[in-house]
Amino acid sequence: MIILIGLPGSGKSTVGRLLARRLQLPFVDSDLAIEQRLGCSIREFFEREGEARFRDVEQAVLDELTQGPACVLSTGGGAVLRPANRQCLRERGQVFYLRSAPEEVFRRVQHDRSRPLLQVADPLQKLRELHAQRDPLYRETAHCVVETGRPSVASLVNWIAAKLELQPAPLNPAHASDASH
């Protein structure tokens, strides 16, 4: 299982779809799976039930998805907030952190109204706060950090595919710290 993590708008779904096609694996977006489970959008659920309740559902869905058949799994930006999720992702798949600067993410998502955590007065500042909070958690969870910066989506997919060819079996957790830098 190949798992993509990173800030909202870092390219997880876009890169994931192309990577899945390239590797001839199914693509699964955990946010879509969560919405199917909820029967409403994440934004609606967030507003109605709050973040803590959403994270409960997210944890259950991630646990199920990571026990399923091999796929490319794109996770929600906050999937790493719970220790149980970080452990489950890291132990059950090869985790790639699509690392993007908050300014780069803002440029991509500034007009997207479907992202509940960014519906604030200053979304760029919110992204900076999310990055400061989550970057260490993404790094802790990932086997490999992918700097998204300026490369095209195709270049990112090629880079990840090359990494996977060099390391086709799940990475050994004892050596994971070597692979993430």
- Which residue type is seen at 66? T
CATH classification of the domain holding 110: 3.40.50.300
Q: Which pTM value belongs to this model?
A: 0.87
Neighbours of 5 (CB within 10 A): 29
Known binding residues for ATP are 9-14, 115
Q: What is the pLDDT of residues 58-109, one digit of tens each?
A: 999 999 999 989 999 999 999 999 999 999 999 999 999 999 999 988 887 7
Enumerate the known binding-site residues for Mg(2+). Answer: 13
Q: How many domains does the chain have?
A: 1
pLDDT of residue 175: 36
Give me the phi and psi of 122, to 5 degrees please: -125, 85
| Domain extent for 20 | 2-179
Query: Residues annotated as binding site for substrate?
Result: 31, 55, 77, 134
Q: Taking the CA of residue 109 as centre, how many other CA atoms within 13 Å lie in the half-sphere pointing to its CB?
A: 26
Q: Which residues are annotated binding-site positions?
A: 9-14, 31, 55, 77, 115, 134
Query: Which tokens in the block code for residue 121?
Result: 């007065």
